[in-house]
């Protein structure tokens, strides 16, 4: 019941980074009821003549994914993940530790397994425990929580803050990485990120091809 007004109100200004599109969510008390959002295909931006504007618009569309709690929850600015659509502090409390995999005795894998696990006949708002073989927190350099989309965009392009990757090298991560892909398959009782990983990957490719311009 700690308050974090910023996290609650700034869904629209969070950042992306090379990384892991995840929510380490054992969701909080609030049932996830909002409808799943759509993601517009690349073709929807074809009419934008100005390449810079088109590129920026594509990134804004990608922002629906990037700033989704499923993704931001494990790109926190602090040392602990967030959880649920309200992006509240993770319960039980867990620290990022070396490599973002937790601390001795309390690692990500203490609770998060190689895949989502359905919970049977327990809390109505916890239908599953999310999982992926690579479950971990993004490093602090890649924190998105509390950042504007413009800042996140710059962060993604900055090799110092994206894991030393070129934009081409990031393509696999965006479109194929299973931990990123978890965002669209988050398990029972959790709202997936908008669209699909494939559609998101296509937007990424189109954004890079259009010059990778960042929104203002």
List b or e across 62-98, with b for residues whose CB sees 16 or more CB atoms inside 10 angstroms.
bbbbbbbbbbbbbbbbeeebbbbbebbbbeeebebbe
Q: What are the residues whose beta carbons fall under 8 Å from the beta carbon of 154, sequence distance 6 or more?
A: 214
- Which is closer to another protein, CB of 35 or CB of 124? 124
Q: Is 41 in the site for another protein (CB under 8 A)?
A: no
- Which is closer to another protein, CB of 75 or CB of 112? 112
CB of 46 to another protein, least distance (A): 45
The mark string for 178-207 relative to another protein (x by CB under 8 A, - otherwise) is: ------------------------------
Q: Is 94 in the site for another protein (CB under 8 A)?
A: yes
Contact (Cβ atoms closer than 8 angstroms) between residue 204 and residue 171: yes
Q: Is 44 in the site for another protein (CB under 8 A)?
A: no
Contact (Cβ atoms closer than 8 angstroms) between residue 148 and residue 16: no
Applying CB under 8 A, the span of 50-58, 85-93, 170-178, 181-189 interacting with another protein comes to 85-93
Q: Among 34, 35, 49, 104, which residue sits at the site for another protein (rule: CB under 8 A)?
A: 104
Residue whose structure tokens are 């900055």: 158
CB of 118 to another protein, least distance (A): 7
Q: Residue 131 corresponds to which tokens in the numbers above?
A: 């999982």
Q: Is 1 in the site for another protein (CB under 8 A)?
A: yes
Give the Cβ contact number of residue 160 at 10 Å.
8
CB of 99 to another protein, least distance (A): 13
Contact (Cβ atoms closer than 8 angstroms) between residue 69 and residue 23: yes
The mark string for 106-125 relative to another protein (x by CB under 8 A, - otherwise) is: xx-xxx-xx--xxxxxxxxx
Report which DSSP code applies to 128: E
Cα–Cα distance for residue pair 194/70, rounded to 1 Å? 10
Residue whose structure tokens are 């931006």: 45
Q: Is 95 in the site for another protein (CB under 8 A)?
A: yes
**Binders of another protein among 122-161, rule CB under 8 A?**
122-126, 129
Q: Is 29 in the site for another protein (CB under 8 A)?
A: yes
Binding site for another protein (CB under 8 A): 1-4, 26, 28-29, 91-95, 97, 103-107, 109-111, 113-114, 117-126, 129
């Amino acid at each position: 019941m700690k308050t974090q007004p910023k996290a609650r109100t700034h869904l629209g200004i969070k950042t992306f980074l090379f990384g892991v599109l995840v929510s380490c969510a054992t969701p909080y008390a609030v049932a996830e009821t909002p409808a799943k959002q759509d993601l517009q295909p690349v073709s929807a931006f074809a009419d934008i003549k100005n390449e810079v504007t088109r590129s920026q618009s594509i990134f804004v569309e990608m922002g629906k994914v990037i700033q989704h709690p499923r993704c931001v929850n494990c790109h926190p600015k602090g040392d602990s993940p967030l959880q649920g659509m309200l992006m509240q502090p993770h319960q039980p409390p867990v620290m990022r530790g070396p490599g973002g995999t937790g601390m001795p005795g309390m690692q990500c894998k203490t609770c998060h397994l190689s895949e989502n696990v359905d919970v049977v006949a327990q809390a109505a708002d916890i239908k599953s425990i999310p999982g992926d073989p690579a479950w971990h927190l993004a490093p602090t350099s890649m924190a998105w929580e509390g950042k504007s989309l413009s800042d996140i965009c710059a962060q993604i392009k900055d090799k110092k803050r994206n894991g030393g990757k070129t934009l081409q090298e990031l393509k696999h991560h965006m479109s194929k990485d299973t931990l990123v892909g978890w965002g669209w398959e988050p398990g029972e009782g959790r709202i997936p990120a908008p669209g699909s990983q494939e559609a998101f990957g296509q937007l990424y490719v189109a954004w890079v091809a259009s010059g990778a311009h960042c929104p203002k």
